Amino acid sequence: SFDMLNNQFTDERVKEIMTWRAEKGHAYSGVDKTTGSTLVERLCNQTLWSFEQEEYDLMYQYLFQPMPGWSLTVLALCLWALTLAVEFRSVFEQGMAILQLPNVPAGESGVVQS
């Protein structure tokens, strides 16, 4: 079972991660002299042994949970069909209300006289 609403990343934490990526992840000082890969590249390839790798793994697990796409599609289609049903009912009720209004026979003015 998975809970897609359980987001452990606050806006502040996301900002910290983005700052780390810009300032340290792509910095020349973090480039591996042997392979030429940056910290971010090694992080995404999951070859680091660090706190950042653990954070990345946690984000990866949250973002790429095994939610089947077909179930989300079916849910979206059901909600769309229900929304259409509500709209059609509203239009039908308005049409029925208009048809129930009294008619003025031909040759009469329709002005109410007291």
**79, 15 Cβ separation under 8 angstroms:** no
Q: What is the pLDDT along the chain (114 residues), one digit of tens a residue?
A: 456 566 777 888 888 888 888 888 888 888 888 888 888 888 888 777 777 777 777 777 777 766 667 777 888 999 999 999 999 999 999 999 999 998 888 888 778 777
Q: Long-range pairs for 30-37 at CB < 8 Å and ≥24 separation?
A: none
For 73, the token pair is 């599609």
Q: Which helix (H) or strand (E) holds 39?
A: helix 39-44
End-to-end CA distance of the chain: 73
pLDDT, tens digit, 9 for 90 and up, residues 29-40: 888 888 888 888
Outline where DSSP puts E strands in the chain.
none
- pTM equals 0.40
For 54, the token pair is 């653990």
